[in-house]
Structures are given as structure tokens and as C-alpha cells.
Amino acid sequence: MGKQRKLITFDWAIKRLLRNKANFGILEGFLNELLTKNITILDVLESQRYQGCRTHEFNCVDLKACNSKEEIIIIEIQYDREYDYLQRIFYGVSKAAIEHIVENKSYANITKIISINILYFYLGSGTDYIYKGTTRFIGLHNHDLLELNKRQKQLFKKDTIESLYPEYYLIRINRFNDIAKDTLDEWIYFLKNEEIKENFTAKGLKEAEEKLSFMKLPEDEQKAYEHYKEDLRYQASMFESSFGDGYYEGKAEGKAEGLAEGVNQTTKNIALNLAQEGTPIEMIAKVTGLSASDIKQLLQESIKQ
């Protein structure tokens, strides 16, 4: 087997290429394999959730599309660890549903939202690499599943209550073992390795292999892509360096002053290092649990020293 061609990453494709109607077939192929139903993308919608945030510019990429069933599909790629990520995707889905409520229409017309999250960090403690979340109603006494009646099925054009509510997909790339057992796994392999093997047959992958070739990008796009990848490496390096310095400094102090104090000092060191590298205080507070005022005080004290 010959050497595989160099392909650009899926996040860059989402940022630059997959928003073009000529490339919707790639996106549709991925969605068909994941959702196990025929998906036709009508349009890519404007998303303003992360405008103006440099950290998210490099570490979080999102795309919002409308399909032929008038459903909104949100695809988000996240690189950095975020402890409240589950709440954030709930917020994003809720916001999208509200944005697309048709004025003067009944609740029966609320748009169905599908949230697909491609994660390059470890979220939760499960052993699988793909999780699906839905809403169902189970009887407390009889343990039966609440169903739609005939009239509701006609009104909603849906067969189950579950299909009315948002769907969440969490794809934990780091948990995938690189063994593609089916066509969906072939897509996960590509998302993780930026490579498409010759025997892969998943929908959209052949088109992706053709259109996402690095060598076929214009020269200015190649330079922009290399710059983007370098920014990602820099962001990852800064986070790891800040975390590592704080951890080892706190661990050393913990030996002398006791475990509890060591853990506390570790948290402070992590917060200070992140702040000195320019990480937003609000994000540091989420990661460390420290208050914004405590973080500002740590910065002031470091300046005086």
C-alpha cells in the first residue's frame, strides 16, 4: 500500500471548506454514518457563540447547519478540557432552539436540534468513544415508556416523544483504538488520524480524500493552514506547561506542608501560570474553582515579588 496523501484536519475543513455548498457531500456523508439516516444539508447558518474569543478561535470550532427535515445540526470540535462542557452544550442547544422559534407559531413548531460534539479531550469516565443522549419519560410505578398518541403523531409528524427533543452525540476521539470495525469507525479513524485508508467505504470519505488534500489547497490556504496548526500546538503547549509547573510545584510543597496545603498550592500555581500566559480569568475560575478576585490577587502578588 502506498503512502497516504496528506489531508487537512476536519476542524479546518469546517472553518474553511465545508461551509461551501459544493462540499456539502462530505458533511452529509459523516452525518449519514453517525445518525444512520439520509441527511441532506440545505444551508450552513451563521454561528456567533464564540466570536471575539481568541481561545475558542483555536481550540473550539463549530458549524450550524439546516437539513431538509428543517432540523438544526450543530457540529462542534473541542480540543481543550472544559469541566462544564456538558452544561455548555445544553446551553448551545437551548439557545439554538430559541433562535429558531417562528414568531406567532405554536410550540409544535419548535425546531429539532441535533448536537454533535467531536472531543479531543477526556470527558467523563465512560469506556466507550461514542455516546448518545436523548430524552425519554419512564413511569415511576409501572416503568413503562410514555408514547405519543395517534393525534400527536399526526401533529408532530414524529413517531416517538424522544424524536421531539434534542439529541446529543459525544465522540471522544482519544478513546478510539484505531480499529475500524464499521463505516462509522472509518470516519472516526479519519477524524483522529487525518488519514483515509484505501479500503474505507464510508459515505463521504472518498469525496473528503479528494477535496481535503493539503496539496490541492491554494498556496495562501496552505500557509494559513500551517499557521493554524502551529497556533493549536502553541495553545496546547502553553496549557500543558502551565498545568505541569503548577502540579509539580504544588506536589513538592505538599510533601513539606501536608497534602491538603499541597493541593491548594497546586491549584493556585496552575491559576497563576494560566493567568500569566493570558488565559481569560473567567476560564481559569471554571478550571480551578478559584474566584475571579482570588486569581486577580494572585496576579497582583506575583507582580510585587
Model confidence pLDDT, tens digit, residues 195-204:
999 999 999 9
Q: Dihedral, CA atoms, 291, 294, 295, 297, nearest 10 degrees?
A: 160
Determine, yes or no, domain membership for 3. no
Average pLDDT over residues 131-136: 97
More confident residue, 29 or 229: 29
| Residue 114 · residue 166 · CB < 8 Å | yes
205 and 257, same domain (yes or no)? no
Q: Is the dihedral of CA 272, 274, 277, 278 positive or negative?
A: negative
Q: Enter the pTM of the model.
A: 0.73
Please check whether residues 127 and 268 belong to one and the same domain.
Answer: no
Query: Average pLDDT in the 293-301 region?
Result: 82
* 8 touches 18 (CB < 8 A): no
Higher pLDDT among residues 122 and 68, named by residue: 68
Q: How far apart are CA 244 and CA 251, in angstroms?
A: 10
Q: Are 231 and 190 found together in one domain?
A: no
Per-residue pLDDT, averaged over 41-63, amounts to 65
Q: Are residues 273 and 143 part of one domain? A: no
pLDDT at 191: 94
Query: What is the per-residue pLDDT for 91?
Result: 93
In a domain, residue 287? The reply is: yes
Query: Which candidate, 72, 2, 41, 76, places its Cα nearest to that of 204?
Result: 41
Are both 156 and 289 inside the same structural domain?
Answer: no
User: Of 216, 245, 267, which closes a domain?
Assistant: 216
- pLDDT band for position 279 (50/70/90)? confident
73, 56: one domain: yes
pLDDT, mean of residues 49-77: 74
Instruction: Return d(Cα 109, Cα 35) in angstroms, integer.
Output: 22
| 30 plus 170 within the same structural domain | yes
Identify the three-state secondary structure at position 37. coil
Q: Which of 69-78, 135-144, 180-189, 293-302 has the lowest mean pLDDT?
A: 293-302
> Do residues 14 and 48 both lie within one domain?
yes
Residue at 239 is within a domain? yes
| pLDDT > 80? residue 108 | yes
Location of C-alpha cell 487525518: 194
Confidence (pLDDT) at 294: 85
- Judged against a pLDDT cut of 80, whether residue 184 lies above it is answered with yes
Q: Which of 274, 220, 208, 278 is nearest to 243 (CA)?
A: 274
pLDDT of residue 292: 82
Whether residues 173 and 258 fall in one domain: no
**Backbone φ, ψ for residue 170 (5° rounding):** -115, 115
- Same domain membership, residue 198 and residue 175: yes
**What confidence tier does 31 reach under pLDDT thresholds 50, 70, 90?**
very high
- Among residues 163, 181, 216, which one ends one of the domains? 216
155 and 179 in a single domain? The answer is: yes
Same domain, 234 and 211: no
Share of the chain above pLDDT 70, in %: 81
What's the CA gap between 22 and 26, in Å, rounded?
A: 9
Question: Is 196 a member of any domain?
Answer: yes
On whether residue 71 sits in a domain, the answer given is yes
Q: Choose one of 216, 236, 262: the last residue of a domain.
A: 216
Cα distance between residue 75 and residue 62, in whole Å: 6
Residue 193 lies in a domain: yes
pLDDT value of residue 166: 96
The mean pLDDT of 167-183, rounded to a whole number, is 95
5 within some domain: no
Band of the pLDDT at 258, cuts 50, 70, 90? low
- At 3 the pLDDT is 45
Which three cell numbers mark 67?
A: 437539513
State how many domains the chain has: 2
Q: 172 near 122, Cβ under 8 Å?
A: yes
34-38, 209-213, 216-220, 250-254: range with lowest mean pLDDT: 250-254
pLDDT band at 62; cut points 50, 70, 90: confident
Structural domain span for residue 153: 10-216
| pLDDT given at position 177 | 94
Query: Coil, strand, or helix at residue 160?
Result: coil
